[in-house]
Amino acid sequence: MTGESETFTVPARRGRATRLGAGEAIKIINTHGTQVVDTWAFSAEDLTEFMSNEHMRATLGKLWPAPGDALVTNRRRPILTLEEDSSPGRHDTLIAACDDYRYGLLGCTEYHDNCTDNLFAGMRQLGLTPPECPSPLNLWMNIPVDAAGATSWGEPLSKPGDYVVLRAHMDCVVAMSACPQDILPINGAACTPVEAHYRILGR
């Protein structure tokens, strides 16, 4: 496609996925400013090749990507470039997607919406099943790390309308989950997950 698409919604607590052709980009918008969006990218040709934080950190030499950085797969090939970021740039690559096990450990006794199931549900809307839930790029998730290696659960540093633009190096599928975490303050002090939005940008 050329130009910019209509605006799509990632509903609060839910997942969505979209195909992205090589050269196209996705603009992911933190509409309310406090919402973490777990993000994954899979090669359209072979879903076992996907964006991988542990390979990305080795290539980039840092915990969080910045504009201009190529995000690599588990085969160390660029799949997306972080082209623009209007936020302070604090994202997370350290923490696994939440899952029902996680909410059980946090005291929930009934099923809790979670990013892992959202990944599978979002991909299923495209008729796809990911081979696993890779460690996500957690957009706007703020996990401060001190010099001794201790991590903490921060609130997002982003403001309403902040966005990132991720441009595809190969035909791929990008999946997103508006994280349903409402026990820890990673989606802001109010612990209220909300929706996010995205648009597809042409070459």
Binding site for a second copy (CB under 8 A): 52-55, 57-59, 61-64, 74-77, 94-96, 99, 101-102, 105, 132, 135, 145-152
Question: Judged by CB, which is closer to a second copy: 30, or 114?
Answer: 114
Question: Judged by CB, which is closer to a second copy: 184, or 190?
Answer: 184
Question: Judged by CB, which is closer to a second copy: 98, or 196?
Answer: 98
Only one residue has tokens 């029902």, namely 100
Report the run of H or E that residue 122 belongs to, with start and end.
helix 115-124
Tell the smallest beta-carbon distance from residue 157 to a second copy (Å). 13
Q: If we measure between CA atoms, which residue out of 7, 19, 32 comes closest to residue 179? A: 32
Q: If we measure between CA atoms, which residue out of 73, 83, 84, 12 comes closest to residue 41? A: 73
* Rounded Cα–Cα distance for residues 36 and 34 (Å): 7
Tell the smallest beta-carbon distance from residue 103 to a second copy (Å). 10
Q: Give the SS3 label for residue 58.
A: helix
Tell the smallest beta-carbon distance from residue 64 to a second copy (Å). 5
Tell the smallest beta-carbon distance from residue 76 to a second copy (Å). 4
Question: Judged by CB, which is closer to a second copy: 101, or 111?
Answer: 101
Q: If we measure between CA atoms, which residue out of 53, 190, 193 comes closest to residue 114? A: 193
Tell the smallest beta-carbon distance from residue 5 to a second copy (Å). 32
Length of the chain: 203
Compute the Cα dihedral for 161, 162, 168, 174 and give only its sign.
negative
Question: Judged by CB, which is closer to a second copy: 31, or 43?
Answer: 43
Do residues 172 and 79 lie in contact, with contact meaning Cβ atoms separated by under 8 Å? yes
